[in-house]
A = this chain, B = another copy of it.
């Protein structure tokens, strides 16, 4: 089941849709553009219809972190956040969003059961994604984080080529953003991609498209299975034999 803002809108009655369009602000954002903090005070609910929005935290000395990624269908509820926190919503891509006022949002959620379920499920999956992401960051090494991220992209991606058994995955952000999301350096991201490619587990079709060649192995890396390191050598041996034959 894919939960998205489209679903949310589809579930509304004509009356509610009218309310919504009278009490919301559609907007388009370019890469790097932030959602203005002042606007967030009046319209703290942001529904994403396309693109990728990042929630960024800034440390005192300039270190920057992408604490969360929001994509098509996510509904960001910033009530009580905008002012106190040093967190900002910044588009990583050309994105289309829709800002809602709390009033109209509340009234829809309280009166429309289906909309309520969609919104509730979205928030719940945001929570679980954030918790899973915490687990990734806490104990995994660079290679494992990247493997997890590739699966996260496959799971959430809309552009994924589903025909090819889901093996073609679109990475919707730049290397530099990816690094900030995974809590590592762009250099390390680059090296990790290369390692996965050298081991024959993935192949870069373009800079933003990954072909998964050995999904089970990638899965095991993501789960922290260290025995996969040996498999590299096995593959090499087989390759040598083949090339001799």
Contacts and interface: CB of A to CB of B under 8 A. Distances in A.
A126 interface: yes
A9 interface: no
Q: Can you tell how many copies of this chain the complex includes?
A: 2
B127 A123 contact: yes
Size class of A's contact patch?
35 or more
A207 interface: no
A186 to B, nearest CB: 13
A67 interface: yes
Given A123-B123, A131-B68, A60 B137 contact: no
Contacts of A223: 59-60, 86
A182 B138 contact: yes
Contacts of A116: 110
A77 B125 CA distance: 10
Closest 7 CB pairs of A and B: A59-B224, A138-B183, A130-B130, A60-B225, A67-B135, A137-B137, A57-B135
